[in-house]
């Protein structure tokens, strides 16, 4: 068997405990409920657990944005690949993201959604790598601040792999060249 390419950074139990805390904070701040907008695909795992940790009325929607190629570095290009199904004017909207890295994705998305005049627009991110920031982003709720390492699991991928790991792990042994 080859050595595992991953090392656990945040174990599943800690992720779930932190999500319960985030849910309680969101309950307090949004007594009338909130629309959760998850960024495909990585944030879907977080969205599902977060939605269940909130007791106020929750609606969910999804938006697709691509800013990364198949590897570990940003292409710097951002485009909308799937729009919301919901009209958000007058709604309290919370963007749900897996990780904030350069901030390019979120600063683009906030710009796009602000134009639609939501009643409020904030961000909840499970992970934050503040050392990597290129664009300032105001993240209202952060699960964990982590060092500048490439992580996979709990929705996060490397070349579409590892999303199904229950823990958040550092990818230690970079896989060979990505095929296809």
Residues identified as active-site: 101
C-alpha dist (Å) from residue 172 to 71, 84, 131, 175: 14, 36, 19, 9
Task: Look up tokens 């050392």; give the residue.
Answer: 131
Nearest residue (CB) to ligand IMP, 22 versus 96: 96
Listed residue (16, 100, 116, 128) closest to 61, CA to CA: 116
Dihedral (CA of 80, 85, 87, 90) sign: negative
Residue 99 binds ligand IMP, judged by CB under 6 A: yes
Please choose which of Mg ion, ligand IMP, none residue 101 contacts, taking the beta carbon within 5 to 8 angstroms, the exact cut-off set by kind.
ligand IMP
Nearest residue (CB) to ligand IMP, 56 versus 163: 163
Residues 6+ apart with CB under 8 A from 109: 39, 63, 65, 95
Nearest residue (CB) to ligand IMP, 91 versus 157: 157
- Binding segment for ligand IMP (CB under 6 A), chosen from 50-58, 83-91, 97-105, 172-180, is 97-105
Binding residues (CB under 6 A) for ligand IMP: these are 39, 42, 67-68, 74, 97-105, 150-152, 156
């Amino acid at each position: 068997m080859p050595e595992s390419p991953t090392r656990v950074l945040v174990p599943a139990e800690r992720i779930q405990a932190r999500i319960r805390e985030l849910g309680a904070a969101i309950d307090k701040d949004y007594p009338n409920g909130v629309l959760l907008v998850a960024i495909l695909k990585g944030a879907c795992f977080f969205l599902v657990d977060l939605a269940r940790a909130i007791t106020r009325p929750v609606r969910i929607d999804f938006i697709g944005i691509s800013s990364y190629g198949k590897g570990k570095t940003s292409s710097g290009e951002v485009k909308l690949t799937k729009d919301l199904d919901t009209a958000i004017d007058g709604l309290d909207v919370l963007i749900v993201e897996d990780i904030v890295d350069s901030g390019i994705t979120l600063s683009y998305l906030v710009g796009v959604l602000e134009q639609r005049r939501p009643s409020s627009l904030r961000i909840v991110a499970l992970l934050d790598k503040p050392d990597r920031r290129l664009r300032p982003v105001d993240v209202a709720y952060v699960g964990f601040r982590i060092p500048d390492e490439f992580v996979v699991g709990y929705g996060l991928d490397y070349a579409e792999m590892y999303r199904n790991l229950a823990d958040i792990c550092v990818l230690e042994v970079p896989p060979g060249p990505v095929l296809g």
